[in-house]
Chain A
Amino acid sequence: MQHVPKEQDRFKRHHLEELTGKTFAYVSIAILLVALVAITYFIASKGLSTFFKNDVNLFNFLFGTEWSPEGDMGKPSFGAFPFIFGSFAVTVLAALISAPLGIGAAIFMNEIAPAWGQKVLQPVIELLVGIPSVVYGFVGLSLVVPFMRERFEGVGFGLASGMVVLSVMILPTITSVALDSLKALPIKLKEASFALGATRWQTISKVLVPAALPGLLTGVVLGMTRAFGEALAVQMVIGNSQKLPESLFDSTSTLTSVLTLEMGNTIAGSAHSNALWSLALILLVMSFVFILLIRFLGRRGQTHER
């Protein structure tokens, strides 16, 4: 006996599919939201207890330079400024190297040599994303650090090594986002520019780059977000001295490197452990700030189009 689908049947099936899909989507969103709120609450409650339970002064925590949480010499002190500074310094320095390189590569791939640029360069850059950060760290430790040690003052471990390793790590992020934003530009912009008699260089620098700027900046900020949160590779090459660096080649710490080095040996609930959670809270807040910044840039891009 053959089943002939009736109109009603189809209607029912359609609704059931709709319902299933909706349920699945809503459940996923709910789980995501719960996870996000839970993580934020967890880190905040632990991180804030440094200030409420252990009575550490917030100002001293953010701007103090003495980090001695176990209190070897009398009173423990929780000055996290060197790490906050280290994180920002290495992130900004890496972005300074990567942004021009990444945007340049994107322009090359999209405007100058699309054919082999996209056939050869794109897979290479995508490959860079897949390499685990411990490999970057190990390459940094085996190649970058000895290079820095031989060419410059100091012992090789330091801001400069961290900057080099990180800039390679965030290059693909910046390049691919920049490439997408250049690709999204309407072709008429380019055609209008050429029609006015502009050269290719003038078109790129005066028309295409300004038009794609919000997208390019988004790529840079995304790269910086990755650099700021990166732990393993940086920890292996930056030296982790818990002090402010005296030069580019001096060793210093980042928030993440202190976290990974000290977390395992602290007692949950102790002032030291809470202080480490406060460092994690700073990282979380900073990633929120980066995301807001990307939102802001994106909105600026939309008004720009009009």
Chain B
Amino acid sequence: MKVSKRILWTAAIVLAMLTAGCAGGGTNQGTNDKQAEQTPAGGGISGSIVALGSTALQPLVNEAAKQFMVKNPQAQIQVQGGGSGTGLSQVASGGAQIGNSDIFAEEKSGIDATVLKDHKVAVVGIAAVANKDVGVDNLTKQQLIGIFTGKITNWKEVGGADQKIVLVNRPKSSGTRATFFTYGLDKNEEKEGITEDANGTVKKIISETKGAIGYLAFSYFDDTIKPLSLDGVAPSKENVLDNKFPIWAYEHMYTKGDALDLSKAFLDYMVSEEVQKNLVPQMGYIPVTEMKVERDAKGNITNKQ
């Protein structure tokens, strides 16, 4: 009797675990929604939310969430990656309370941007970056477009070394690429080249490959690669603030409708002095509160105030 009982129990436990695992995946989103709507019982902020999406924004949100949770021990903020597309579609479908994105929801087809509320929390600058030995520091926009569309194939054509140009691109769906494509290449489709998603890999390839050019967020700049000026304007924080250097993008955190409770408290924290003055520059982003210009989803620039 003993042996068979043990087998029975094992089977029962395995089955229970399996069904629990299956059910868990399905009901997760439901419980998160409910918890998010709970109002704090007595003082302090409580509840639990999920913020997911853009991997470019993930480190900043992650760090901010950690600090936020230290201040509000009752609050639970889960930060995940998954990509801007995932962030936008998950927040629109209610799967997450906050969707992180590198691009405006209006720019992405298949998303109903009217139900989403935009919260801009930081700015990233993106610049063309070349191998150190190409002998060029500055490109005009025409030269940049010529290089990426494949009309210019040797660095000597733009006054550099006699070296073949090797393009390092991002996948068609990447948020970094969308920004560079719109504001760097004026929507001229780039020629096919090596395609890598991760900033780290792109940097490694550019630093090791002769004649390579690609594009990176400012936070990845170091002396293994050479960031290129555009029309004589250096890619720096100061030049982004007044749009002298035009290739930059907002980091967005979207909520479905107005942000409530914990989501609101956390988003307020993201744009507070504390985060914008310390954490944002520390992590290599540009504070959105310091921007002197504003840009809308169509790319129109207006001066602030």
Instruction: Report A-chain residues with C-beta under 8 Å of the C-beta of B144.
Output: none
Indicate if the CB atoms of B195 and A272 lie closer than 8 Å: no
CA distance A218 to B242 in the complex (A): 64
Q: Are B173 and A240 in contact (CB under 8 A)?
A: no
Given A67-B172, A69-B173; 16 other pairs, CB 8 A cutoff: A13-B1, A20-B7, A24-B7, A70-B109, A72-B189, A141-B204, A146-B208, A157-B194, A236-B201, A241-B192, A264-B86, A266-B83, A267-B108, A267-B109, A268-B89, A272-B173
**What is the 8 Å Cβ interface bit string for chain A, positions 264-300, against chain B (1 contact, 0 not)?**
1111111111000000000000000000000000000
22 residue pairs bridging A and B, Cβ less than 8 Å apart: A16-B4, A20-B8, A24-B7, A67-B172, A70-B173, A73-B189, A146-B208, A157-B205, A239-B195, A241-B194, A261-B195, A262-B173, A264-B81, A264-B83, A265-B84, A265-B171, A265-B173, A266-B85, A268-B89, A268-B110, A269-B89, A270-B110
**Chain B: CB-nearest residue to A25:** B11
Tell me, rounded to whole Å, the shortest Cβ–Cβ distance linking B112 to chain A. Answer: 10
Per the bound structure, the CA–CA distance linking A271 and B187 in Å amounts to: 21
A17:B194 contact, CB within 8 angstroms? no
Separation of A261 and B193 alpha carbons in the complex (Å): 14
Please give me the 10 A-B residue pairs with the lowest Cβ-Cβ distance, nearest first. A264-B83, A270-B110, A265-B173, A240-B195, A267-B110, A261-B171, A265-B85, A265-B83, A239-B194, A243-B192
B contact residues around A236 at 8 Å (CB): 201
B194 touching A266, Cβ below 8 Å: no
Given A13-B1, A251-B194, A267-B108, A262 and B171 contact (CB-CB distance below 8 Å): yes
Q: Closest B-chain residue to A156, C-beta based?
A: B209
Name B's interface SS: mixed
Q: A189 within 8 Å of B by Cβ?
A: no
Known contacts A24-B11, A269-B110; decide if A69 and B172 are in contact (CB<8 Å).
yes
Nearest-Cβ distance from residue B21 to partner chain A, whole angstroms = 11
Nearest residue (CB) in B for A258 is: B171
Question: CB distance B209 to A155 under 8 Å?
Answer: yes
Give Cα A22 to B81, complex, Å: 43
Inter-chain contacts of A256 with B (CB < 8 A): none
Q: How many residues of A contact B (CB 8 A)?
A: 43
Judge whether A264 and B192 touch: CB under 8 Å.
Answer: no
Report B-chain residues with C-beta under 8 Å of the C-beta of A167. Answer: none
Which B208-249 residues have C-beta < 8 A from chain A? 208-209, 212
- Flag whether B181 is at the interface (Cβ < 8 A): yes
**B165-179 near A? 1/0 per residue, CB < 8 Å:** 010000111110000
Q: How far is the CA of A187 from the CA of B3 in the complex (A)?
A: 42
Against B, the Cβ 8 Å flags (1 = close, 0 = not) of A128-160 are: 000000000000010000100100000111000
Q: Is B263 an interface residue (CB 8 A)?
A: no
Please indicate the chain B residues that have their CB under 8 angstroms from the CB of A251 in the complex.
193-194
Q: Do the beta carbons of A21 and B7 come within 8 Å of each other?
A: yes
Is B111 at the interface (CB under 8 A from chain A)? yes
- Confirm or deny: A175 has a beta carbon within 8 angstroms of a beta carbon on chain B: no
In the complex, A31 has a CB within 8 A of chain B: yes
CB <8 Å contact, A266 and B173: yes
Q: Is B82 an interface residue, CB under 8 A from the partner?
A: yes
A264 to B201, CA, bound (A): 17
Q: A155-B166, A264-B85 are in contact. Are A23 and B11 (CB under 8 A)?
A: yes
- Minimal Cβ-Cβ distance residue in B for A18: B4
Whether A242 and B175, one on each chain, are in contact in the complex, defined by CB atoms closer than 8 angstroms, is no
Q: Are A31 and B181 within 8 A (Cβ)?
A: no
Q: Separation in Å of the B18 CB from the closest CB of chain A? A: 7
Q: Judge whether B196 is part of the interface by a CB distance below 8 angstroms.
A: yes
The answer to whether B45 has its CB under 8 Å from any CB of chain A is no
Given known contacts A241-B195, A242-B192, A253-B195, is B11 in contact with A264 (CB within 8 Å)?
no
Residue in A20, A265, A270 whose beta carbon sits within 8 Å of that of B109 in the complex: A270
- Asked whether B85 lies within 8 Å of A267 as measured between CB atoms, the reply is yes
Residue of A whose beta carbon sits closest to that of B3:
A17
Residues of B within 8 Å of A243, CB to CB, are: 192
Q: Is A120 an interface residue (CB 8 A)?
A: no
Tell me, in angstroms, the Cα distance from A240 to B201 when the chains sit together.
Answer: 13
Q: Tell me the smallest distance from the CB of B101 to a CB of chain A, in Å.
A: 9
- Is B55 among interface residues, defined by CB-CB distance under 8 A? yes
Whether A17 pairs with B4 at a CB distance below 8 angstroms is yes
What residues on A are CB-neighbors of B7 within 8 Å?
A: 17, 20-21, 24
Bound complex: CA of A31 vs CA of B11, how far in Å? Answer: 13
Tell yes or no: B197 within 8 A of A by CB: yes
Is B275 part of the contact surface with A, judged by Cβ < 8 Å? no
- Nearest-CB distance from B243 to chain A (Å)? 23
Chain B residues with CB under 8 A of A265: 83-86, 171, 173-175
Q: Is A68 an interface residue (CB 8 A)?
A: yes
Question: Is residue B127 contacting chain A, with contact meaning CB distance below 8 A?
Answer: no
CA–CA, A263 and B55, complex, Å: 13
For residue B301, CB closer than 8 A to chain A, the reply is: no
